[in-house]
Amino acid sequence: MKKLFGKLTLILIIVVALVSLSAANGTTKIAKYISLSMSPDISPNYKNIIIPPNIAPLNFSIRQAGTKYLVKIYSAREENIEILSRTPKIIIPSRKWRKLLEANRGESLNIDIFVKDSIGKWSKYKTINNTIANENIDSHIAYRLIRPIYNRWSDIGIYQRNLEKFSQRTILNGQSASNSCINCHSFPNNDPEKMLIGIRSEIYGSSTLLAQGNKASGIGTKFGYTSWHPSGKIAVYSLNKVRQFFHNAGKEVRGVVDLNSAICYYDIEKKKVKTIDAFTVKNRLETYPAWSPDGKYLYYSSAPFSWGNKEKIPPENFEKLKYDLMRVSYDINTDKWGQPEIFLSANETGLSILLPRVSPDGRFLLFTMCDHGCFPIYHPDSDLYLMDLKSKKYHKLDINSNTSDSWHSFSSNSRWIAFSSKRLDGLYTRTFFSYIDKDGKVYKPFVMPQKDPEFYDSFLRTYSVPELIKGPIKVSHRTLAKTIYSKNNIEVKVPVTAATPKAKGFDPWTERE
C-alpha cells in the first residue's frame, strides 16, 4: 500500500512538472480548433492600435463565453507570450511583455485568442494586429481623481501613475489638507521637477503650491488654469470667477460659467504677479493660457460677454458665449508683450474654442471645441481638433466619440497625446492615449491600462486633467500637505480685476473648477 502511494505521488509530481514546463516554455498546443473569421470581443478594446514600447501590459477580458482561454502574444522577435486561463481575464506577465515590446519596436504585435466552449471544442478568433511604436510615451502621468462633483466634495486627490507599471502614488490628497479642493496641476515641458497645484480651502484660503525638486513652497494666491513658460521662469495663469448651475432636464446635469476671468503671470524668481491690459479687458473673458514651446507666443481663449443681470445664474445668453482662440507674442528677456491677435475666430468655426496646447516640437496645436461656454467636459459635443501650425489648417480628429473628449496633453517627444473621454460609460472620464505621427495623423486611442482589466467597470471616480510627465514627481505628499498647513505663503500682490478671488474664505458651494 505504501509503495503504491509512493508511486502515485511520484507520477503526480512528474505530471505537474511536465505541465509546468510546457506552460513555461510557451508550448501549449491545441491539436484541433475551429478558425473563426470574426474578431474577438475584448475589453478594453485593445484592437488595431499603436502602442508605446514602454507601456505596462495591456491586460484585457475576453467577452466570449468559454470554459478555458488561451492567448498567444507574439511579434517578429523574442519569445512568444502564452497565457492559459480558466477565467476570461487575461493578465499578461510584465517582464515578458516588456522584453517583447522592447525587442520589436516598429513591428506588429499580434494576439491570437483561443476559446474552449462547454463541449470541449476550441475556437480561434481572428488575430488581433496591433503595432508597437518606435517612440516611447512619457513614463508617468499626473491626474486628478474625483467623483463627478456637484456642490460638495470630500475626497479629491492628485496622483501620479507609472505608465510602465501599474503603480499609482499620491501627489496630494485633499483629505490630508483639511478637505481642500486641489486642482490645476501643471508642469513646464513635461518636467516633473517643477509643479504648480491650486488649493482652495475653507480653513487655509486660496493659494498655490510650487514644488521644485523635493521642496515645496506656498504662493498666497490661487492660480487657475496654468501654463509654465518653457524657460521655467514664469507661469501664466487664469483668474476665473466660476459659477456652477444645474440643468433640470437633459443628459448633463451640471453647467459652468465664468462670470468673469482674466490672465496674470507669476515671476518665479522675483515672486511677483503681473498682468497686462490685454489680459484683463473689461468686456471679455480670458482663460486657458498655453505657451508655444519656444516661449515666444502665448495662446489663450477669449470671449466677449455682456451679462445683464449679474446676480442671475446662469446669466442671460450664456448659451451664446463662444470663445475665440487668441495669440500674443512675448519676449522673456525684456518681459515685453506684443499685441494680441485672434488666431482662430469662433465666428469662423461656429464653436467655442478652448484648451489650446502646442506640441513640444511646435508643429501642431491641439484644442477642444464645443457648442458654447468654457467647460468642455460638461458638453457631450466637445471634440478634439488639430491644427497644423505650418499651414494653419485644422480638422476634427477621427478619434472623437459622441461623448465629451477634451483635456489633452502631449508627451515630451510630441508623438503621444493623452486626453479625457467619457466614451466608456457616458459619465466618468477616463484617460486615453493616441499615437500621433509626424504628419499629424492621429491613431485609434486606447484607455490607460490597469492591472485588473475590469477595473473601469466599477471605478466610480473620474480621471481629470491628465498631464504626461517624463518621470516621477519627487516631492512627497506629506511635504505638500505640510506646506498648506504651514501658512507661510509667499505674499503676492494680485492685480485687481473683476475676477480676482478673495484672499481668505470662499464659497465652495457655489464656486466650481
Partner 1 sequence: MTMLLENQLSKKCTVSVRTLFFFVCFYIYVWKIIQPELIYYSFGVIAKYPHFSKGWMFFRELFSRPFGPVEYISGFLSHLLYFSWLGALILTLTSCLIYSGTLKLLELAGAGKVSTISYIPVLLVLAIFNHYGNSMQTCVSFAGALWVSVLNEKLFVKDSIVSIVAFFVLFLLLYYIAGGASFVFLVIAVLFSILIRRQVVIGGCILFLGTALFWLFGVHLTAPNTIQSIYKLFPFIDPRWPSRHVLALCLYLFVPACLLLIGIWKIIFKRRTIAKDTSVDSMSRKKNPHRYPKPKWAFGTLILAVMFSAMGYYSFAPVKKNICKMVNLDRQEKWSEQIKHIRQLPIQEYNLYYNHCLNKALYHTGQLGEDMFSYPQNKNSFLLGLESRGLGQVFREFIACDTFIRLGQINLAEKKAHEHLENAGEHHHILKMMVLINIVKDQPETAQMYLKVLSKDLIHNRWAKDVLNKLDTDLRLSTDTQVQHLRSVKLDSDAFLADNQTEKLLSNLLIGNKLNKMAFEYLMAYNLITGRLDKIVANIPRFNDFGYKTLPRHYEEAILTYQSINKVKVDLHGHKIRPETVIRFKDFEKRYSSYDDRLDAGRALRGQFRNCYYYYYSFFGTELIP
Given candidates 427, 491, 493, 502, which one binds partner 1 under the rule CB under 8 A?
427
Part in contact with partner 1 (CB under 8 A); list of ranges 119-127, 210-218, 331-339, 474-482: 474-482
Selected from 73, 163, 177, 436, the binder of partner 1 by CB under 8 A is 177
Type of residue found at 109: L
Place of cell 523574442: 78
Element (H, E) at 212: strand 205-212
- Cα separation, 430 vs 428, in Å, equals 6
Sheet holding 205-212, edge to edge: 181-186, 194-201, 205-212, 215-219, 489-490
Give the distance from CA 488 to its chain's centroid.
31
User: What character string, x for contact with partner 1 (CB under 8 A) and - otherwise, covers 279-318?
Assistant: ----------------------------------xx----
Verify binding: residue 455, partner 1, rule CB under 8 A: yes
Q: Which DSSP string corresponds to 461-479?
A: -EEEEEEEESS---S-HHH
Angle at CA of residue 326, ends 320 and 330, nearest 5°: 155
Cα atoms found within 13 Å of the Cα of residue 416, Cβ hemisphere only: 34
Indicate whether 250 belongs to the interface with partner 1 (CB under 8 A). yes
Position 203 contacts partner 1 (CB under 8 A): no
Interacting span for partner 1 (CB under 8 A) from 222-230, 267-275, 363-371, 422-430 = 422-430
Give the binding-site size for partner 1 (rule: CB under 8 A): 40
Which of the ranges 41-49, 121-129, 284-292, 481-489 carries the binding residues for partner 1, by CB under 8 A?
A: 481-489
- Among 41, 79, 102, 155, which residue interacts with partner 1 (rule: CB under 8 A)? 155
Closest to partner 1 by CB, 160 or 244:
244
Interface with partner 1, residue 245, by CB under 8 A: yes
Closest contact distance (angstroms) between CB of 403 and partner 1 is 10
Which one of 119-127, 128-136, 283-291, 418-426 is the stretch in contact with partner 1 (CB under 8 A)?
A: 418-426
Residue of 336, 393, 441, 482 that binds partner 1 (CB under 8 A): 482
Q: By CB under 8 A, name the one of 5, 32, 249, 334 that touches partner 1.
A: 249
| Shorter beta-carbon distance to partner 1: residue 33 or 245 | 245
| Beta carbons of 265 and 314 less than 8 angstroms apart | no
How many helical (H) and strand (E) elements, i.e. helices and strands, does the chain have? 4, 36
3-state secondary structure of 134: coil
Q: Which is nearer to partner 1, 59 or 190 (CB)?
A: 59
- Interface with partner 1, residue 65, by CB under 8 A: no
Q: What minimum distance in Å lies between the beta carbon of 63 and partner 1?
A: 12
CB of 458 to partner 1, least distance (A): 4
Residues across the chain: 513
Strand pairing category for 128-132 and 122-124: unpaired
- CA–CA dist 96, 141 (Å, integer): 23
Asked whether position 491 contacts partner 1 by CB under 8 A, the answer is no
Amino acid type, 303 = A
For partner 1, the binding residues in 157-176 under the rule CB under 8 A are: 176
C-alpha cell at 277: 491690459
One of 195, 417, 424, 465 touching partner 1 (CB under 8 A): 424
- What does the per-residue mask of binding to partner 1 show for 34-63, with x meaning CB under 8 A? ------------------------------
State yes or no: residue 253 binds partner 1 (CB under 8 A).
Answer: yes
Write the CB contacts of 70 (distance below 8 Å, at least 6 apart in sequence): 28, 30, 82, 83, 84, 85, 113, 114, 115, 116, 122
Cβ proximity to partner 1: between 408 and 423 the closer is 423
Please identify, among the stretches 214-222, 302-310, 408-416, 449-457, the one whose residues bind partner 1 according to the rule CB under 8 A: 449-457
Q: What are residue 302's DSSP bridge partners? A: 286, 324
Min dist CB 255 to partner 1, Å, is 8
Q: Which stretch binds partner 1 (CB under 8 A): 47-55, 323-331, 363-371, 480-488?
A: 480-488
**CB-nearer residue toward partner 1: 251 or 392:** 251
**Residue among 328 and 481 whose Cβ is closer to partner 1:** 481
Is residue 320 at the binding interface for partner 1, with CB under 8 A as the rule?
A: no
Does 469 contact partner 1 by CB under 8 A? no
Instruction: Quickly tell me which residue has 508617468 as its cell.
Output: 140
227-230: list long-range contacts, CB under 8 Å, 24+ apart.
227/186, 227/289, 227/290, 227/291, 227/298, 228/186, 228/187, 228/188, 228/189, 228/194, 228/196, 228/291, 229/188, 229/291, 229/295, 229/330, 229/332, 230/188, 230/189, 230/291, 230/293, 230/294, 230/295
Give the interface with partner 1 as residue ranges (CB under 8 A). Answer: 147-155, 176-177, 245-251, 253-255, 313-314, 424-428, 452, 454-455, 457-458, 460, 477-478, 481-482, 485, 509
